[in-house]
Structure 1
Amino acid sequence: MVDLNNFFKLLEEKNINANKLSIETGISTGNISDWKKGRSYPTAQKLVIIADYLDCSIDYLLGRTENPKINQK
């Protein structure tokens, strides 16, 4: 199961709402709403866009690590 808690926590910490994320990434607010409600999950392509935008790793977005850094060395 996909855990997007870190994704939504990071948006909140950076004061980014769904509308701003949508405008700046091209991802629809409908998609973001569906992810928040657990109706669907981001595609790999959208995860790459979001990780680049938020400057974090995809593993962090998916709750696979608590370290948001891209390189964990």
Structure 2
Amino acid sequence: MYRRIRDLREDADLLQKDLAAYLQCTQVCYSYYESGKRDIPTDVLIRLAKLYQVSTDYLLGLTDRRQPYPAGKSRT
């Protein structure tokens, strides 16, 4: 998961400080998310998924499918 959020940030040409400002946390706090030193809270995970337009399952490494699930539709 941590590698994916770093790769997504780098693909978007964003800095850790940019994400920290978006998430309203410090750059150090965000760097801990990327390095796995700190668990990512659910609300932060959701905000990252919305920002990058990916599913939370993709961020968590449960799928390689990047697209978020359509609203109101079942995943099964």
The answer to whether the superposition gives a TM-score over 0.5 is: yes
Q: Report which of the two structures shows the higher radius of gyration computed on alpha carbons.
A: 2
Q: Which consecutive unaligned segments of at least 5 residues does structure 1 have?
A: none
Indicate the percent of aligned positions where both proteins have the same amino acid: 20
Give the corresponding residue for 2:40.
42
Aligned match for 1:59, one of 44, 57, 60:
57
Structure 2 counterparts to residues 1-73 of structure 1, below 5 A: 3-71=1-69
Q: Which consecutive unaligned segments of at least 5 residues does structure 2 have?
A: none
Q: TM-score, normalised by structure 2?
A: 0.77
Q: TM-score, normalised by structure 1?
A: 0.79
Which consecutive segments of 4 or more residues in structure 1 shift more than 2 A? none
For 2:34 and 2:48, how far apart are their aligned partners in 1?
14
- Count of aligned residue pairs for this structure pair: 71
Alignment root-mean-square deviation, CA: 1.8
| Larger RCO, structure (CA 8 Å, separation 6 or more) | 1
